[in-house]
Structure formats: C-alpha cells, structure tokens
Structure 1
C-alpha cells in the first residue's frame, strides 16, 4: 500500500510539472483566416469583437441571421450590418433584402476580397481577387520588408488625410470600375510603391500614371448606404493590434456611428456558427458552471480512491517437493531388476558423447576421426591418450555390438565416463 501511495504522488507531481511547463510554453500561432468570434489566433475576431463590444456607444452584437431574416426582423428601427469574410457569395434573395434594408436607411458594411457576381453586377463594381498565403504572411512578419501605404481620403472635414502602412499581402485586393454610380471614396492605395520595390528600373508613371485604386468606398442607396471594403484581414485580432493601424478600422466604422452595429456570420464558410450549444449555455451560467466543475472534481476523486487494487486473500501454496532423486532411484531399480546393464551403459554413453561434442568439439561416434578425437580429449582432460583410446574402443562393442555386461563391468564403464567428464 505504501508503494502505491508513492506511485500516485509521483504521477500527480509529474502531471503538475508537465501542466506548468505546457502552460508557460509559447503558444503556436495559426495564420489561417477564420474571422470567427471564438478564434483568438491572429486572423480570428475574438479580440476585434471584444473591443467593439466595449467601445461602441450604441452597442455591438453578433448574429447568425441572413439579410432576409434581418430585413424581416425589424422594419421600424435602422441598424448597421457588418459582414467580414475572405469571400462572400450572395443569392438573388440576399441582394434584394440587402438593398431593401439600405433603402429604408440601414447602413451595411461588406468587408471581403470577393463579393460575388450578383452583388457586383447590381452595384456596378469589380474587385480584384487576391490569394492569401500563411507562409508569405509569416515571411513578411519576420522580415523588415517594406509595407504598402493606404491613404485616407474620406471625410476630410472630420479626419485629416493620413497614411496607414500594412503588409502587402493584407491589402492586395482593391476596387475597379465603380464610377458609373454615385460613390464616395474613403481610402485608396498607391500601386507604384509595390511596383518600384520589385522593378526599380521601370518608370511607374508610364505604367499607372496617377491611378490610385480604391480600397474602400461608399455607395449611397435610398436613405442608407452600402460601404464596401476590400481588406478583410485588417478586421481581425492582428489588424487591431498592428501598431496604430486600428485608427483606420475605426475611421471606416465611424460611417455607422449613429446606429447600433450587428455583425452577422451567416455567410461565413468553414467555421462554427454563433449558435450556442447546450453545454456552452451551462458554462455561461455561474451556478451551472460550478455544478459541472464540482461534478468533475467528484468524479476525479472517485477515480483516485477506487483505483486501489482490491484482491482476495492469497492462499498459502506449499512449495513443490523435489522428487528428481526418487525418480532416478526408481529408474535405476527397474534397470537393476531387469539386469539390463548394457542398456544403462548405452544411455550413459549417449550423454557422455553429447557432453564431449559440446565441450571438446569431438565426435567419438565417428570411428575415422579416432586419433584426432582421442588427442583432443587427452589435451582437454590431461589424461593419457592411450588410456582414453583403450576405454572408448572397449566400450564400443557394448554400444554397437549388443554384448551383455555384468554389474561390475557396468559400474566400471560408468565410473570411467564420469572420470573423463570430471576432468573436462
């Protein structure tokens, strides 16, 4: 019992040390964009949502409803709807509900690098698609590569013109051909900076001239407006913590400052939705949460105290007697009663020949090698080679010829074989 107690204490101490080491080890970052409210990795939105929830005066909430559901939910009060994802795909019904909400005075901000053909054809714009590579992002983050510049050009009466610097892979998508309908440009990018970094000998003025593509613009629609932004990776935990660039995000969000903001995840793909499971509800309520904790602790204690081995009394089993000597005497008595002395010598000779074969590496049953075998046995035992040769030639007729023996001759042959084996 004492040994098992020390074993349990040792295992517990080992687990505590491993837990402490694992807790203090640096966390490995995952650079895959999820835009999930529960993801605390660089390109999740857990920190982003937390900051907006605590800083927006009119409120910030999360939802999993589509545009159609939001449009039918409240037709009296206006809200601001925010969607952030790498790629958006809207159906015809989604676009109709979106436009209906904007028509009534709601403000809708769509942040993505791809908006789908249905919406682009309706609002008359195109957006250049960009592929995000986590490997390239880690390379940019670990190097001193030059960043791209995004210029704030909207609301100059409220905000001054300012330049924000981001890694190129975070802002490589931009808008084109959006001039046919009324718009207000909010931010633009200088393409010549990135081109000069890779091709310093080229005249960028001849290539792009003074063309600065839009990174964010506003499309008025009815009493409301639709805000389109092409940099979704900036609306993440990493974007919020990237130096002073959070100012850029809040300038964009200020377009919806007079309305409560709802971020919906209905169009996000490949991540968990915001629907709560029964277990998450239990964890959100303090009494239920403590009930789960106490249940787990009770189960753990039950496992520890019932882990002791329960065993019935071990019966006393007497040690088996060694009856080898009795068996030997019995066999010897049988041979003696039958007067089969030659057979007993034959069995002794078989054992004797096998012992010489193993210890001296000679085969006395092979007659052609007698001289060599007798010499090796004499060298090994220190006995006279002639005595050994005479004995083996004398015993062979008994083994192979079937000659009968008296008890005295049997004893003499066996004693001689024992003598040779004792000298090996």
Structure 2
C-alpha cells in the first residue's frame, strides 16, 4: 500500500510538471488568415477588434449577418459596415444590398484581395489577385529583413505624415480602375519603375504605364459611399501591432466619418467562424460547466483508486488427465470387433522396424540381405540366430499377404516376440 501511494504521488507530480512546462513553452504561430474575432494568431482579429472597440468614439460592434440581412433590418440609423475577407465573392443579392445601404447614407468598406465579377462590373473596377504565401512571409520576418514596400495616403491633406511601409506580401494586390464613375483615391503604392498591367476580362480593356497602383478608393453612391480596399491582411492583429502602422487603419476607418461601425463575419469560412475550443460553449453555460468539472473530477478519482496494484485471481490448476490408456482400449476394442489380428501385427511391425532402424541401424525392409540383418539383431540383443530366423520367416507371410487370417494366440505370440527383441537392445 505504501508503494502504491508513492506511485500515485509521482504520477500527479509528473502531470503537474508537464503541464507547467507546456504552459510556459513559446506558442507556435499559425500564419493562416482567418479574420476571426476569437483568433489571437497573427492573422486573426482578436486584438484588432479589442483595440477598435475601446478606441472608436461612436462604437464598434461585431455581427454574423450578411449584407442582405443588414439591409433588410428596419433601422433608420446610418452606420458604417466593415467586411474583411481574403476572398469576397459576393452574389448579386448582396451586391444589390450594398447599393441600397449606400443610397440610404450608410458607408460600406469592403476589404479583400478578390471581389467577384458582379461587384466589379457594377462599380466598374478590376482588382489584381496575388496568392499569399505564408512561408515567404515567415522567412522574411524571421530574417529581420528591412526591405519593405512604401504606400502613401492621398485621400486628403489633413495628416502631415502620409507614408507607410509594409512587407510586400501584405500589399500584393491592387486596383486597376476606370474613370467612368466618380471616385476618390485614398491609398497608392509607390513604384520606382514603370510597369504594365492588363485586364484580360473580355479581352477589351488594357491599362498601361501604371506608375502608382491604387490600393484603396471610394465610390460615392446615393447619400453614402462604397470604400474598396485591397489589403485585408493589414486588418488583422499583425497589422494593428506592426509598429506605428496602426494609424493607416485608423485613416481608412476615418473615411466612415462619425458613424458607428459594425464588422460582419458573415463571409468568413466556416472553419474560421467556429469557436477555437470545443469546450468553449460548455464553459459558457454554468450547468454545463459544472457538469464538465464533475466529470473531470470523477475521472481523476477513478484514476487514483484504480492506479494501485490489485491481486489477480489465481486460477484452479487441475492435473491433466492421461487419456493414453483410454485411447488404447478404444483402438483395441475396434480391432477386437473386426477380428483383424493380421492388420494389428502389421501395425506393430511398422513401429518395431522403426525402432530397430533408429537404435541399431537395421533396416528390415531390405529383404535381399535379411540374414545379415538378423545376425546383427542377434549380435545386439544376445538372442539365438536360428530362433530369430524362424521368427522372421513365420512373420514374413503375415506382412506380405493382406488376406491372411491368424488367430488371437498367434497375434499375441508375434507381438510379444517383437517386444522381447526391443527390450533386449
């Protein structure tokens, strides 16, 4: 019992030590864009939402509703709506809802690297798409590379400093615009050399000599406006904490004026919308939380009380029964019923000849040299040669003729003689 107690104490101490070590290990970053309010990784929005909820004067809230659901709400209050996603492929019903919300005076900011053909055709713009490679960004960040691309604010002249520097992976996408609709440029990317961009959609439009790619602009619509931004990775925890570049986000959000802002997560992937921990809902409900605690306590008590060594049941070992005699009686009964004494002699002769071959290397199957074999048997056993010769001459017809019939007395005499020879070896 004393040894079991120390064993249990050792197991508990080991578990506590492993928990403490695991808790203090540096957390591994996951560089997957989720834009989720519950994600504290670089490309989640836990820190982003927390900072905005405490700093925006008119309020900041989250919603799971789609743009269509927000448009259907009977609300006379004008507000700013923020949608952040890596792939914002809006259907026609949502595009129509955006225009209706803007006509009422709402300001909608759409932040993505892709917007879908319906929205692009409606607002007459085109956005280039660049695949985000997390490994390239991690290598650049881990190497502490100082090379960054420069973007500058062109929306207004209120701010004195309008230059910002980000890693190229954050600002890889940009807009190719047309001038058929009114627009207001907000952010441009600085390029040191001339580049050429082409719009292959319908193979009709081409734009050349784009010295300053556009990263954000605004389309007035009705009493409100639609703001389009091509840098969604900056609207994350990393973008909010990247040096002094958080002012870039506030400049963009300031385009919504004094309106309260609501960010909808209705267009995120289902995996990003799910809670990070499967126990989060259980812990949020008091009855379920106590049920979880009691279950864990019961498991711990079960482990403590069953960890000690228990005595195994000793099985009853019975002496094995000897079935040889019973088997011999059964075989003898069968032969007695058939009255085939000659076959029983032949079976005995097989074992007899095998014993002679194994013990004294005499092969009785060599009939040609039978006399020499008999003399060898006599030499090994000390029996009379003539007696052995008479015995094998009498036994040979019984072995060779399967139809011969002998009596019980003859059978016993033959078998006894073979047993006698084996004993004399």
Q: Structure 2-normalised TM-score?
A: 0.68
3-state SS of 1:367 partner: coil
**Contact 2:61–2:263 (CA<8 Å) still a contact in 1?**
yes
Match of 1:401 in 2: 397
Give the C-alpha shift of residue 251 in structure 1.
2.9
Match of residue 185 from structure 2: 185
- Between the aligned partners of 1:161 and 1:391, the Cα distance in structure 2 is 130
Q: 2-side partners of 1:149 and 1:348: how far apart?
A: 106
Over 3 Å counting, the alpha-carbon distance change for 1:323 and 1:106 in structure 2 is closer
* Preserved contact between residue 35 and residue 85 of structure 1 (Cα < 8 Å): yes
In 1, Cα distance between equivalents of 2:394 and 2:8 = 70
- Identify if the C-alpha distance between structure 1 residues 409 and 191 changes in structure 2 by more than 3 Å, giving closer, same or farther: same
Does the CA contact (< 8 Å) of 2:34 and 2:272 recur in 1?
A: no
Match of 2:116 in 1: 116
1:152 aligns with 2:153: yes
Deviation at 1:111, TM superposition (A): 0.2
Counterpart for residue 80 of structure 2: 80
Question: For the structure 1 residues 127 and 321, does the alpha-carbon distance in structure 2 shift closer, same or farther, using more than 3 Å as the test?
Answer: closer
CA–CA distance in structure 1, aligned partners of residues 2 and 329 of structure 2: 50
1:394 offset after TM fit, Å?
Answer: 7.3
Contact conserved, 2:164 with 2:245, CA < 8 A, in 1?
no
Give CA-to-partner distance per residue, 1:148-174, whole Å, 9 cap, x none: 33233344422412231213x332110
Q: Distance in 1 between matches of 2:368 and 2:305?
A: 72
For 1:161, the equivalent position in structure 2 comes to 162
Q: CA deviation at 1:264?
A: 0.8
Moved more, 245-254 or 341-350: 341-350
Q: Which residue matches 1:71?
A: 71
- Hey, what's the Cα distance between the residues in 2 that align with 1:328 and 1:14? 61
Partner SS for 1:120: helix
Work out whether residues 110 and 227 of structure 1, in 8 Å CA contact, stay in contact via their aligned partners in 2: yes
CA contact (8 A) 2:382 2:424 kept: no
| Structure 1 residue 367 displacement after superposition | 1.7
Give the match's secondary structure for 1:294. helix
Quote the offset at 1:113 in angstroms: 1.6
Q: Which residue of 1 aligns with 2:199?
A: none
Secondary structure of 1:95's counterpart equals helix
- Residues 80 and 261 of structure 2 are in contact (CA less than 8 Å); yes or no, is this contact kept in structure 1? yes
In 2, the alpha carbon distance for the partners of 1:19 and 1:393 equals: 91
Query: 1:299-327 deviations in whole A, cap 9, x for unaligned?
Result: 5368659989xxxxx89968346445754
Aligned position for 2:419: 414
In structure 2, the CA distance between the partners of 1:49 and 1:325, relative to structure 1 (3 Å rule), is: same
Identify if the C-alpha distance between structure 1 residues 331 and 264 changes in structure 2 by more than 3 Å, giving closer, same or farther: closer
Matched with 2:299 is 300
Three-state SS of the structure 1 residue aligned to 2:283 is helix
Distance 1:414 1:32, change over 3 A: same
Deviates more, 1:410-419 or 1:261-270: 410-419
Gaps of 5+ in 2: 196-206, 308-312, 399-405
Cα distance in 2 for partners of 1:332, 1:89 equals 89
Per the alignment, residue 172 of structure 1 pairs with: 172
Instruction: Map 1:2-401 onto structure 2 (within 5 A).
Output: 29-73=29-73, 75-134=75-134, 136-138=136-138, 140-141=140-141, 144=145, 146-167=147-168, 169-192=169-192, 211-256=211-256, 258-271=258-271, 273=273, 283-285=283-285, 287-297=286-296, 300=299, 319-320=318-319, 322-323=321-322, 327=326, 346-354=346-354, 364=363, 366-367=365-366, 397=393, 400-401=396-397
On the 8 A contact 2:381/2:424 being kept in 1, the answer is no
Give the C-alpha shift of residue 261 in structure 1: 1.6
Deviation at 1:73, TM superposition (A): 2.7
Tell me the residue number matched to 2:402: none
* Kept after mapping to 1: 8 A contact 2:78/2:106: yes
Alpha-carbon displacement from aligned partner over 1:59-117 (angstroms, at most 9, x marks no partner): 32211223343234354322211001122233444334323433443322110122233
Shift of the 224–327 alpha-carbon distance from structure 1 to 2, 3 Å rule, reads closer
8 Å CA contact 1:342, 1:410 repeated in 2: no
Once the 2 structures are TM-superposed, how far is the Cα of residue 369 of structure 1 from its aligned partner? 9.8
1:2 is displaced (CA, Å) by: 11
Q: Residues 240 and 331 of structure 1: is their aligned pair in 2 closer, same or farther, counting only changes over 3 Å?
A: same
CA contact (8 A) 2:40 2:237 kept: yes
1:301-359, CA deviations, whole angstroms, 9 ceiling, x for partnerless residues? 68659989xxxxx8996834644575489689989x999998776555433545677x6
Structure 2 CA distance for aligned equivalents of residues 239 and 417 of structure 1: 101
Distance 1:416 1:361 in 2: 12
Which stretches in structure 1 are left out of the alignment for 5+ residues? 196-206, 309-313
